Amino acid sequence: MTGRNLDRRTFVELMTAGGGAILTPRWLRPATSPFSEVRPVRVRGRVTAEGEGLARVRVSDGLSVVMTDSDGAFEIPSSTLRDFVHVSVPSGYEIPVSSTGTARFYERIAPGSGDQQAVAFDLRRCRRNDEHHALLLLADIQTQDTEETTWFLEQTVPDVQATLRAIGDVDAFGISCGDIMYDHLDLFPEYERGVSRMEIPFFQVVGNHDMDYDAWIDESSTATFSRHFGPRYYSFDRGAVHYVILDDVFWNGVEYFGYLDRVQLAWLEADLKMLEAGRTVVVAAHIPILCSQHVRAGEDLPSPHTSVTNRQELYRLLEPFRAHVLTGHTHEIEHVFEHGVHEHVNGAVCGAWWSGPICFDGTPSGYSVYDIRGEDVSWRYKATGHDESYQMRVYPTGTDKRAPDEIVANVWDWDPGWTVVWYENGERRGAMARRDGYDPLSVELHTGPDLPPRRTWVEPIKTGHLFYAPAAPGAHVTVEATDRFGRTYSGSPDALRTNPTGPNGLQSG
């Protein structure tokens, strides 16, 4: 601490951010402590477009949220405890980008003499109406070495480029939903190379493998991430939708767990208070707010490593809105409906950690494409290297040894709004039965101490999107799955592909 008197706001912020950290003797604090040199900073600035000030634009330092006045001016009483001041890019304006294409909507708080700082945000109007826009969500790219970054650049990036060409002249942006890296943060520039090739603005979510593990406290664990991508939580608007990026990975110096710190929740409450009730709000975070792995495993409580321990606070803040939460982390797909929130747990770009073409629930490696028209949100999972119609894998009778008399269909992006029916020799036989089970291809590729070759610790995981029906051996079987948007997809065991695809020549369904 300096000898300078701190105002009440800064004192409260210190106590909120670090608990009792400022009461800890100096000799016990880590060298990376953010509490060592704290002083007030008054940040003044202006938000403009084409030389004119923009009124009622949100600007924040990660705690306070203010609106610009009629001339675009704003003022925030902040402190050196805050890392950034950032603008919540309003609807109708382009997302500012860095030289690599990552979103650049922030300035670092670095006051000069007199504890004052001036910042300016100059925006440009969108050339397209963003009421209709697309979001590409890439979860768990998770590259660990140059070989895996090459796969990302040579497999995922061209696939995204093809998807964008198919979307056409629609406003689009991307979100990398955490675990961009697999601990090797020196490879962030390789990810940025991929972003520059995809040629749409990308926002980044911090994941547990994107952190500085030598940090003693959570506030210091995102230093490298923030040097590349700025603040760890913020908001922006596209069309009629309000987007929020959160950091729900809490690092205590020894391990991580799912948790939203109190400063972040205070900021989120201030941010959402500026919205009218009923708005569509889309939140992106890394760790699922609540996943169902514990239910499928027969356990009473979710692991703190795969769900957010104080999720009730987030549910409370989202209650007035039509809320979607987009997460990753678990390398599987599921849809969770809780407290009026629809959570989309997304499949992984890297599949089962770049060990082959699928996640360990059988979902193909890939990403999600969201189509937003006004406040209506629709989506589809895009398997890397496959047509967008590839939404299931159907196995012949007897493939699942636990169900020797039944066919099995893995409909990976299933949610309760889908219907899944089957036909035998051209005759409709009715709905298939959904049961928890293990995807047969995952069992084949991932079971045993020596499989898969690159990640021998990967094992199949019980999933909730398998469908079963009793079919006669040798019968011609077709499965039809219709999603909640009325789109119908079909598949059959006859079409089960076994050609080598993906890294290491592993087999894909």
What are 377's two structure tokens? Answer: 């949100």
**Segment 41-62 mean pLDDT:** 96
- Name the amino acid, one letter, at 458: V
Q: pLDDT per residue over 311-359, tens digit each? A: 999 999 999 999 999 999 999 999 999 999 999 999 999 999 999 999 9
Mean per-residue pLDDT for 227-254? 97
Mean pLDDT (the chain) is: 91
Identity at 335, one-letter amino acid code: H
CB 507 within 8 A of CB 441: yes
Q: Please answer whether residues 106 and 234 qualify as being in contact, where contact means their C-beta atoms are separated by less than 8 angstroms.
A: yes
The DSSP bridge pattern shows strands 280-284 and 241-245 to be parallel
- Class of domain 393-505 (CATH, top level): mainly beta
Closest-CA residue to 176 (of 200, 151, 158) = 200
- Tell me what pLDDT residue 113 has: 59
Q: Which whole number is the average pLDDT over 216-238?
A: 96
CATH of domain 8-123: 2.60.40.10
Burial letters for 260-274: b for 16+ Cβ neighbours within 10 Å, e otherwise?
A: bbebbbbbbeebbee
| Tens of pLDDT, residues 77-87 | 999 899 999 99
Residue 494's pLDDT band (cuts 50, 70, 90): confident
The interaxial angle of helices 8-18 and 262-272, nearest 10 deg, is 120
Mean pLDDT of 15-23: 35
pLDDT higher than threshold 50 for residue 377: yes
Instruction: Specify the residue for token string 């890296």.
Output: 181
pLDDT of residue 23: 30
Q: Average pLDDT for residues 29-36, to the nearest whole number?
A: 45
Range(s) within the chain of domains with CATH label 2.60.40.10: 8-123
- Please report which confidence band the pLDDT of residue 39 belongs to, taking 50, 70 and 90 as the band edges: confident
Beta carbons within 8 Å of 112's beta carbon, 6+ residues apart: none
Indicate whether this model's pTM tops 0.75. Answer: yes
Regarding predicted confidence, which is higher, 271 or 494?
A: 271
φ, ψ of residue 346 in degrees (nearest 5): -90, 145
336 and 313 in contact (C-beta within 8 Å)? no
Residue 26 binned pLDDT confidence (cut-offs 50, 70, 90): very low
**pLDDT > 70 fraction of the chain, expressed in percent and rounded:** 89
Helix 311-318 and helix 262-272, axial crossing angle in degrees, nearest 10: 10
pLDDT digits (tens, 9 = 90+) for 146-168: 999 999 999 999 999 999 999 99
Identify the pLDDT of residue 111: 74
183 exposure class (CB count in 10 Å sphere: 0-12, 13-18, 19+) = middle
Angle at 167 between CA 232 and CA 233, to 5 degrees: 5
In Å, how far are 24, 342, 351, 375, 376 from 485, measured between CA atoms? 55, 15, 26, 15, 11
pLDDT value at residue 474:
86
DSSP state letters, 43-78: EEEEEEETTEE-SS-EEESSS-EEE--TTSEEEEEE
At 60, the amino acid letter reads: S
Report the pLDDT averaged over residues 256-284: 97
Helix, strand, or coil (residue 362)? coil
Rounded CA-CA distance 351/504 in Å is 13
pLDDT-derived band at 499 (thresholds 50, 70, 90) equals very low
C-alpha closest to that of 395 among 334, 441, 463: 441
The tokens of 127 are what? 């050339």
Whole-number Å distance between alpha carbons of 402 and 478? 21
pLDDT at 7 over 90: no
Per-residue pLDDT at 31: 39
User: If you average pLDDT over residues 266-283, what whole number do you get?
Assistant: 97
